[in-house]
Amino acid sequence: MTRPAGPAQGPVAVLVGPMGSGKTAVGSALARRWGASLRDTDHDIEDATGRRVAEIFAEQGEDAFRELEHRTVVHALTTHDGVLALGGGAVVHPGTRAALADYVARGGHVVLLEVAPDVALARVGHDPNRPLLAGDARERWAALLEARQAWYDEVATVRVRSGAHPATQVARHVERLLARG
Ligand code: S3P
């Protein structure tokens, strides 16, 4: 239950990874272990706009969503001191990647959750609030990962396989990796 050393200001750890990689489940387990709160930028955006993520995509388009997401992530990286889960596409925005690099330079941890497609699709393949998976969810999910893999690799300080074990076990593994520094 050791909370890792982190930046003077900002989250103890940030979770990134594709849709269905378990960011919320692993984030909750980590937050419980560390007596911290979990914040999720999709929820922040929905609270701030009064709109579901799918509505923002439909009404304003992906670029507008990415701008909102960028501002939300930047804000959370300085104001939230618990665990922070980002939407799977947050790494698409160069400004968000730069903000994550700054957070890491300040001593932050960015944890990439990696997951097998079958596990991810069983979790989110039919979710209407995941507009980017509409249509052939398997094909869309794989194409998004291929397009984003280099960005996940760029921002991550540690990577963990998620999905094969319960979230509590994945969280223990994350904690061990972060304790190594
Ligand atoms: C998205 C992932 C979603 C959400 C939106 C777009 C993406 O978050 O932000 O539907 O582009 O991968 P989760 O990763 O929490 O599902």
> Whose CA is closest to atom 4 on ligand 1?
87
Element (H, E) at 143: helix 137-155
Q: What is the pTM of this model?
A: 0.97
115 CA to centre of ligand 1 in angstroms: 15
Predicted pLDDT of residue 180: 83
Predicted pLDDT of residue 65: 97
**What single DSSP character describes residue 181?**
-
Of 8, 16, 12, nearest to 96 by C-alpha is: 16
Predicted pLDDT of residue 2: 83
Q: Is 50 left (phi over 0), alpha (psi -120 to 50) or beta?
A: left
Predicted pLDDT of residue 46: 97
Q: Is the CB of 87 under 6 A from ligand 1?
A: yes
Predicted pLDDT of residue 6: 87
| Cross-strand bridge partners of residue 13 | 83
Predicted pLDDT of residue 143: 97
Weakly modelled stretches of the chain, pLDDT under 50:
none
Predicted pLDDT of residue 129: 87
Predicted pLDDT of residue 72: 98
| Cα gap 119→165, rounded to integer Å | 11
Residue 156 in tokens: 């991550």
First to last CA, the chain: 16
Q: Is the CB of 130 under 6 A from ligand 1?
A: yes
53 CA to centre of ligand 1 in angstroms: 8
Of 53, 60, 79, nearest to 133 by C-alpha is: 53
Predicted pLDDT of residue 40: 97
Element (H, E) at 159: strand 158-161
| Cα gap 41→62, rounded to integer Å | 15
Q: Is the CB of 89 under 6 A from ligand 1?
A: yes
Q: Is the CB of 19 under 6 A from ligand 1?
A: yes
Average pLDDT, the chain: 96
> Whose CA is closest to atom 10 on ligand 1?
130
| Cα gap 34→53, rounded to integer Å | 29
